[in-house]
Amino acid sequence: MPRGVVLKSTGKFYSVLLTTGIETTAVIRGKTRLTLDKSTNPIAVGDDVLLDSFEGDDQLMAIIEIVDRKNYLVRKSTNLSKKRQVIAANIDLIFLVVTLKNPITQIGFIDRFLVSAESFRIPVTILFNKIDLLIPEEKRKLDEMAQLYGKIGYSCYHTSILSAQTIDLLKKEIDGKQVLFAGNSGVGKSSLINALDPSLNLRTNEISQTHLQGKHTTTFAEMHPVKSGGFLIDSPGVKAFGLVDLEKEVISHYFPEMRDLLNSCKFHNCLHLKEPNCAVKEAVGRGEISQSRYLSYQQMMLHDDDEVYRKNDFL
């Protein structure tokens, strides 16, 4: 039975790279669709799938089964929808691309994204991009942020498409992996991918000067085989990252700096908000947990996610 990996979805049709190296177009067989996940996109980029011939059309194949996923990353599909959007599946590594200007990536966005990735056990490397645009004061702030996230276990790199060192470094990081590029619109995901493999020639766009925000250039997530080995997934830029399927009682488990302290609180069900003798709050008071990270935690715990997941207005 033919097997392949999904490279792109445009709604009804899927581009699938077969294990033979041939790329084909496929659709979901009717009976299969009924048994799939009730998300906005039941089959995602990165999914391993089994296929069969499509009756009545020699140019199409039919997806009949999704091989069990190693992991996947989801977000809320829209403000009004209760459904979720699977961004990609079977991810070995995420490059979270962050910029301090043109556009500004908010701390709230970074922390929500990291919590979601932690909940799916997907490692994240943070790329502080467009460093060539920064003045000395901004570079100092970037260093502080990189130190903050590095201290809690996240690899952090300073990157620029103008730097050959950046490209060499990222190529070594990829090294045959299935890597997702994620971040706000305009942070330079597609430009970095183009620099890693110029033959891909992905479309990029300028920053909107009106709001200094990125314009959407990627509508659907798409996975690209690269010459140096591995796959790069270019995902649509998002302004915010809504958490999905996470009970508030376990959110602290996905903050690495809090995780080791959870058994030290007086109460086993401590939420680390108003409870006495809380090891997490004591660590914040001692400066062992950063104020910005604890503020992100409070926002996730104290507010209705439907209302605030788009509001990342503290930096």
The residue to which tokens 């130190």 are assigned: 147
pLDDT at 42: 85
| Domains within the chain, CATH numbers bracketed | 3-66 (2.40.50.140), 72-234 (3.40.50.300), 248-308 (1.10.40.50)
Report the alpha-carbon distance of residue 65 to residue 81 in Å, rounded.
27
Report the alpha-carbon distance of residue 132 to residue 136 in Å, rounded.
11
Give φ, ψ of 84 to 5 degrees. Answer: -115, 155
165: tokens are 């060192």
| pLDDT digits 0-9 by tens, 28-86 | 987 665 556 566 678 999 999 999 988 878 789 999 999 999 999 988 765 545 567 88
Region of 167 please: left (phi>0), alpha (psi -120 to 50) or beta.
Answer: alpha
Beta bridge partners of 15: 8, 25
Helix (H) / strand (E) containing 85: strand 84-89
Range from 71-75, 78-82, 261-265, 304-308 that averages highest in pLDDT: 261-265
| pLDDT digits 0-9 by tens, 88-97 | 999 999 999 9
268: tokens are 């086993």
Task: Please state whether the predicted TM-score (pTM) of the whole model is above 0.85.
Answer: yes
What confidence tier does 218 reach under pLDDT thresholds 50, 70, 90?
very low
Alpha helices in the chain (DSSP H): 30-35, 107-119, 136-151, 164-174, 189-196, 256-259, 279-285, 291-302, 305-308
What confidence tier does 303 reach under pLDDT thresholds 50, 70, 90?
confident
Count of C-beta atoms within a 10 Å radius of residue 35: 9
pLDDT for residue 211 is more than 90: no
Give φ, ψ of 28 to 5 degrees. Answer: -85, 130
Report the alpha-carbon distance of residue 43 to residue 8 in Å, rounded.
10
